[in-house]
Amino acid sequence: MGREGDSFWAPVPKVGGWRLFLKTVVARAYPRIIGQQRERSWIFFDVFLSILAVSAYVFVYRAIGAPEDYVGFVVIGGAMTPFWLNVLWSMSSQLYWEKESGNLALYIMAPNSMMAILLGMALGGMLGTSLRAVAILLAGSLLFHVQYTGGNVFALGVVFLLTLTALYGLGMMSASLFLLWGREAWHLANLAQEPIYLLSGFYFPVKNLGFWVAVVASMIPLTLGLDAMRQLLFPAGAATGFLPVPVEVAGLVVLGVLFLVAAWGLLRYMERIAIREGRLLEMRR
């Protein structure tokens, strides 16, 4: 055993500021990335079941003689489905499940930022989910012979990144809300799943819902993101698009900033409740 003053007992340098923030993000992203690859059968069934859902809509469109671009619309929507499910189950409900498992109190007591913890979860889930999305996109494109236009790849990448930023910002904001609502988190997650498929236009142009319904649905980032990507990828995209692509890009920027700021504010509010009142749920009965 060493004595006080020996190098063996030298204090470990403390990490703070942006270094602590980045280390927290990496630490929380790592288990998401690794954990999703450990159960390989889950990856197979996630892709397989998504392809089945895509196939059903493809066969319906071909049976009624819809334009062939609608098949591509369905494939793109199917490829974005894993991101929505990841946000719904692995982001929005996350803090609630962490509380149930006893980890949330440790997160709040730790010196790192709750925003960094959720950002790490988001990045880890985003990277892991991207593998499933790419597999669905490739399989659907090959099976149904989808033809894409040689559009602006840079604009497509910008739209995709802005969509994910706003979508995961929504997930980070919802994580605090679901925690504050308590046991209703599970029911809210179940309730939100299917309506979002409809309102976001996963399998059809959202313009068909009508202008004002589409405006309300545009509060969900996937609505504008899917519509913009389809306009950039398919000849019929411009004719069936809800709004011009530049307007939808601006909307995604606004939603991303709005949701991230709201997430930061709600997390601060939640931490104040935990510190001041010693509880982790706001809703009282």
The residue type at 159: V
Q: Side chain identity at 264, as an amino acid letter? A: W
Q: Which of 77, 79, 107 is nearest to 94 (CA)?
A: 107
Residue 282's pLDDT is 47
Does 141 have pLDDT greater than 60? Answer: yes
How many alpha carbons lie under 13 Å from residue 113 in its C-beta half-sphere?
21
2 pLDDT band (50/70/90 cuts)?
very low
Where are the chain's structural domains? 18-277
pLDDT in tens, 32-82: 777 766 666 777 777 787 888 888 889 999 899 888 888 889 999 888 888
Tokens of 268: 């601060």
- Average pLDDT of 137-151? 85
Q: Helices 153-181 and 114-144 sit at what angle, rounded to 10 degrees?
A: 130
Identify the pLDDT of residue 163.
Answer: 92
Least confident of 122-126, 163-167, 214-218, 254-258: 122-126
What is the residue-averaged pLDDT of the chain? 80
* Residue 1 pLDDT greater than 50, yes or no: no
281: pLDDT strictly greater than 70? no
Contact 230, 240 (CB under 8 A): yes
Q: How far is CA 99 from CA 35, 86, 179, 283, in A?
A: 20, 19, 8, 15
Please state, for a pLDDT cut of 90, what percent of the chain lies above it. 11
- Give the DSSP per-residue string, 23-87: HHHHHHHHHHHHHHHH-HHHHHHHHHHHHHHHHHHHHHHHHTT--THHHHHHHHHHHHHHHHHHH
In tens, the pLDDT along 194-240 reads: 888 888 888 888 888 888 998 999 998 999 999 999 998 888 777 88
Rounded CA separation 46/37 (Å): 12
Q: Dump pLDDT digits (tens) for 86-121.
A: 887 777 777 777 777 777 777 777 777 778 888 888
